[in-house]
Amino acid sequence: MYKIVTKRQLNEAVTLMEVEAPYIAAKARAGQFIIFRIDQYGERIPLTIADRDKEKGTVTIIFQAVGTSTKALAQLNEGDSILDFVGPLGNATEIDGYKNVCVVGGGVGCAIAYPSAKALFNAGAHVDMIAGFRNKDIVILEDEMRAVCHNLYVTTDDGSYGEKGFVTNKLQSLIDAGNKYDLVIAIGPIPMMKFLSEVTRPYGIKTLVSLNPIMIDGTGMCGGCRVTVGGNIRFACVDGPDFDGHEVDFDELMRRNSYYKAQERESASHECRMLAAGEAAREAAAADGASEAKKEEQ
Amino acid sequence: MANLSLTKVPMPEQDPNVRNRNFDEVALGYTEEMAKEEATRCLNCKNRPCVSGCPVNVRIPDFIAQVAAGNFEEAYKIITATNCLPAVCGRVCTQETQCESKCVRGMKGESVGIGRLERFVADYHMAHVNEKLEKVETNGHRVAVIGSGPSGLTCAGDLARLGYQVTIFEAFHKAGGVLVYGIPEFRLPKAIVQKEVDNLEALGVEVRTNFVIGKTLTVDELFAEGYEAIFIGSGAGLPSFMGIEGESLIGVYSANEYLTRVNLMKAYSDKYDTPIRKSHAVAVVGGGNVAMDAARTAKRLGAEKVYIVYRRSEEEMPARAEEVHHAKEEGIEFMCLNNPTRILGSENGEVRAIEVLSMELGEPDASGRRKPVAIPGSEHEIEVDTVVMSIGTSPNPLIRSTTDGLDATSRGCLVTDESMATSRPGVYAGGDAVTGAATVILAMGAGKTAAASIDKYIREKG
């Protein structure tokens, strides 16, 4: 059992938890993930590690309550325990050698973008961060992000906070303004990562995206997390979760992540937080809402 | 006077048309009378050919003699002297190619039902004897076992009995490895595996689940934590795909994923949150035991049509004859000599059919089996909404890639000598991590050999 030592609501749907997991805390690096199982009937759900505290032996996860397991997890409180919690899985984000980086987060994807920005910032890179949200009410981690980058640009779709517009527009304007990035990291809803990769493609800027496909074991056994990258089958759990955004077949990933949506006993957590995350993917979010609503009806 | 019946006492089984709707065990096991009767078919040969066919050298004629005499508990003691998982082996061992293939009775008629008798003895013990296993006095030496599948459980059990303090590290949330995620409930009830794990814990073995060696800790860090030797039994790993068009469509699974969802994650039970596709027609690609498990599982989940699509003929199929027989009884359709060329999708990206090319058998290939040769222009579609790829696995890279000095073959299998020692002093390995996908009993044999080698290594190290 893994004890929840801190719980904080970041916005209505997004929760931060610090969980006691000393072995994982000792090892975790930016970009890696854990798999949790809420109880003996639960699914195994991957979540990216948002932070860790070696001394306290805790791992921070930030998640949006979108499916059966994440909703149940959000109901737990400080002092409660999670049945299973395993990691750190996947490869750490490659941060060596980059000098001028733009880290882009969409919605709850900012929780995953944050540790990468922090790692790069601490390694001495110049880090710009763009954090996009649907509106002011769902802005999360603003102070935390500001502390690990040189410039933080917050955008909202409706202009209720920060700059009005999408993260893609902001990145384009930063590039237009003469910023010479040698790496862009994009983490958020699949459409956001797809379109952001299109922004950087003409400039040949290396673009890493963090993928979170459907997964069971997280150690390379099930093959459920396979994604097509550069025309080849890759397993996100052992080959990723970071991949070259210019090579990823995002449309296929989006289809595969909607695998169980139509099912009555669908576990919406499979959609992963990215699908339901920021509003750069307004359509995707709308579609999710519809499927959730349908599920409730049933 | 030996029982001269040419056939084994039949195994009671669930009716095929009942069992293909449930996940309960197919074979129901012998009664005491059946077991005694079958036991009298053993001729108690002096040269014991059956024992030489057993990877863990169970004293087969001795235990069978005790069954014939009704001393079932004595029989159990004889079996467990060399085999710590008899209830598992009695069910999933490939006896027909091992002990039973050497049985003299098999020259004319059927061999003695050694596997069935082993299962009977193990089940009898579980049902009638409630022994309290006691911790063996510890010798103070610590050994780490990576993976809780058949090789790891065997290695841990043998070492614990010798007094070692053994810790098993398991990546999943439940111990048992392929015995719990791969082999279906209807062939190997999970309660039996759990009982074996419980027994190990009673002996003093510590089982740490949710622990991925290569990630949570590395092999080197295990040494640093004070383990004096390490056994790697991490299993087969990455599922293979054919590399044909359409393998990422919705409705295509690897057999590993399909079986894990159902066996470990219990997708067949409404109590569990695990989703699985509600299929009407399923093509399982492959001809091994795993393919049979996947096909029979698909049937039980409610698919009306389930096909085995295999590129060679039934004669070349690597699956056990018994599994093929059971699958056919349950209504699985065998489409042999068909090789998939692509998987076709609907507009929304879901599987709608699999296209296959008809094959014919040519000359024998490197494996000694007649090579399937494509018949040009014979492509045709089989309408299915689900495809399960069951064409093997390649070894998992997590340990190999995080451990310096651990030699592997070009395919990624760990290299060991006869004692199961790897290229790293103090590190031993066995099971599918070494052999590639193989059988439960071979893995157990390797675990057993490794345990003896580890004991010798630590004693000589002083």
pLDDT at B66: 97
Rounded Cα gap, residues B89 and B447, in angstroms: 14
User: Does the bond joining A241 to the residue before it have cis omega, within 30 degrees of 0?
Assistant: yes
Distinct helix (H) and strand (E) counts, chain B: 16, 16
Segment B351-391, tens digit of pLDDT: 999 999 999 999 888 888 888 999 999 999 999 999 999 99
Q: Considering the domain boundaries, does residue A51 fall inside one?
A: yes
Please report whether residue A123 resides in a domain. yes
Q: Which of B125, B283, B294 is nearest to B196 (CA)?
A: B125
To the nearest whole angstrom, how far is the Cα of A85 from the nearest Cα of chain B? Answer: 7
Q: Indicate if the alpha-carbon torsion angle B308, B309, B315, B317 is positive or negative.
A: negative
Are A152 and A198 within one domain?
Answer: yes
Residues of B in contact with A85 (CB under 8 A): 210
* Rounded to 5°, angle at Cα B233 from B228 and B235: 155
Contact B265 A43 (CB under 8 A): yes
Q: Which of B148, B211, B215 to probe by mutation at the A interface, max A CB count within 10 Å?
A: B215
Distance from the Cα of A297 to chain B's closest Cα (Å) equals 18
Give the model's pLDDT for residue A259: 78
Is B298 strand, coil or helix? helix
Indicate whether B84 pLDDT > 90.
no
Check if B271 contacts A (Cβ < 8 Å).
yes
**Taking CB atoms and an 8 Å limit, are A224 and B254 in contact across chains?**
yes
Chain A interface, mutation test: which of B173, B208, B244, B256, most A Cβ atoms within 10 Å?
B173
- Rounded to 5°, angle at Cα B8 from B71 and B83: 50
The pLDDT tens digits for B24-39 are: 999 999 999 999 999 9
Measured between its terminal Cα atoms, the distance across chain B in Å is: 54
Residues linked to residue B229 through DSSP beta bridges, in sequence order: B143
pLDDT confidence of residue A294: 30
* Chain A residues whose beta carbon lies within 8 Å of the beta carbon of residue B432: none
Would you say residue A289 lies in a domain?
no
Q: Is residue A161 in some structural domain?
A: yes
At A62, which CATH number?
A: 2.40.30.10
| Closest chain A C-alpha to B266 CA, distance in angstroms | 8
pLDDT at B140: 94
Looking at the partner chain, which of A83, A238, A259 has a beta carbon nearest the beta carbon of B398?
A: A238
| Partners of residue A260 in chain B, C-beta under 8 Å | 275, 277
A126 and A37 within one domain: no
Residues A84 and A111 in one domain: no
What pTM does this model have? 0.91
CA distance B120 to B76: 10
Among chain B residues, CA nearest to A269: B273
**Longest CA pairwise span in chain A (Å):** 53
Query: For the range A284-289, what are the long-range contacts, defined as Cβ-Cβ under 8 Å and sequence gap of 24 or more?
Result: A284/A189, A284/A190, A284/A191, A284/A254, A285/A134, A285/A189, A288/A66
Chain B, window 160-179: residues with a beta carbon less than 8 angstroms from a chain A beta carbon: 171-173
In a shared domain, residues A26 and A163: no
- Asked if A248 and A192 sit in the same domain, the reply is yes
> Which residues on chain A are in Cβ contact (under 8 Å) with B239?
221-223
Residues A114, A169 within the same domain:
yes
**Residue B27 CB partners (closer than 8 Å, separation 6+):** B11, B12, B13, B91
Number of domains in chain A: 2
Q: Is residue A287 included in any domain, yes or no?
A: no
Question: Is the same domain home to A222 and A143?
Answer: yes
Per-residue model confidence (pLDDT) at position B367: 82
- State whether B265 and A83 contact (CB < 8 Å): no
Cβ pair B396:A221 closer than 8 A: yes
B461: pLDDT confidence band, cut at 50, 70 and 90?
A: confident
> Is residue A249 within 8 Å of residue A230, measured between CB atoms?
no
Burial class of residue A266 (count of CB atoms within 10 Å of its CB; 0-12, 13-18, 19+)? buried
Who among A219, A259, A265 is closest to B171 (CB)? A219
Interface touch A86/B216, C-beta < 8 Å:
yes
**H helix or E strand, kind and range, residue B351:** strand B351-364
Provide the percentage of residues in chain B whose pLDDT is more than 70.
Answer: 100
Strands (E), B151-304: 165-169, 206-208, 229-232, 238-239, 252-254, 281-285
Whether a cis peptide bond, with omega within 30° of 0, leads into A88 is yes
pLDDT string in tens for chain A (298-residue length): 999 999 999 999 999 999 999 999 999 999 999 999 999 999 999 999 999 999 999 999 999 998 899 999 999 999 999 999 999 999 999 999 999 999 999 999 999 999 999 999 999 999 999 999 999 999 999 999 999 999 999 999 999 999 999 999 999 999 999 999 999 999 999 999 999 999 999 999 999 999 988 889 999 899 999 999 999 999 999 999 999 999 999 999 998 888 776 554 444 444 433 333 333 333 333 333 333 333 322 2
Domain endpoint, select from A221, A238, A257: A257
Q: Which domain holds residue A30?
A: 2-89
| Within a domain: A204 | yes
Q: What is the rounded CA–CA span in Å between residue B279 and residue B300?
A: 11
Q: Count residue pairs from A and B with Cβ separation < 8 A.
A: 120
* Distance, CA of B296 to CA of B263 (rounded, Å): 12
DSSP lists the bridge partners of residue B389 as: B254, B285
Contact A221 B235 (CB under 8 A): yes
CA distance A4 to chain B (A): 17
Amino acid A104 reads: V
In the DSSP assignment, the letter for residue A233 is: E
Whether A85 and A230 share a structural domain: no
Rounded to the nearest 5 degrees, what angle is found at the Cα of B131, between the Cα atoms of B126 and B132? 130
Q: Which residue of B has its CA nearest to A86?
A: B210
Percent of chain B with pLDDT over 90: 83
DSSP string, B85-123: -HHHHHHH--GGGTGGGG-GGGGSSPPP-HHHHHHHHHH
Give the CATH number, domain containing residue A134: 3.40.50.80
Kindly state whether residues A250 and A122 are assigned to the same domain: yes
Residues A105 and A252 in one domain: yes
Inter-chain CB proximity A88 and B396 less than 8 Å = no
Q: What is the pLDDT of residues B289-312, one digit of tens each?
A: 999 999 999 999 999 999 999 999
Could you say which of A86, A233, A255 has the minimum Cβ distance to residue B210?
A86
Does a structural domain hold residue A20?
yes
Which of A89, A113, A141 is the endpoint of a domain?
A89
Give the chain A residue whose CA is nearest to the CA of B242: A233
Chain A residues within 8 A of B175 when measuring between CB atoms: none
Is the model more confident about A5 or about B1? Answer: A5
Mutate to test the interface with B, among A221, A248, A252, A298 (most CBs of B within 10 A): A221
CA atoms within 13 A on the CB side of A214: 31
Last residue of a domain, one of A238, A257, A276: A257
Residues of A in contact with B275 (CB under 8 A): 43, 259-260, 263, 265-267, 270
Q: Which two tokens stand for residue A225?
A: 């997390």
Contacts 24+ apart (CB under 8 A), B400-409: B401/B214, B402/B214, B402/B215, B402/B218, B402/B219, B403/B214, B403/B218, B403/B219, B403/B220, B403/B427, B404/B220, B406/B219
Tokens (6 digits) for B119: 């299962």
**Three-class SS state of B56:** coil
Helices and strands counted in chain A (H then E): 10, 16
Q: How far apart are CA A245 and CA B26, in angstroms?
A: 49
Same domain, A61 and A164: no
- Looking at the domain assignment, is residue A248 inside a domain? yes
How many Cβ atoms sit within 10 Å of the Cβ of residue A122?
A: 12
Inter-chain touch B235–A84, beta carbons under 8 Å: no
Widest Cα–Cα separation across chain B:
70
* Nearest-CA distance B397 → chain A (Å): 8
Contacts of B349 in chain A (CB under 8 A): 252, 255
If asked whether residues A66 and A171 sit together in one domain, one would say no
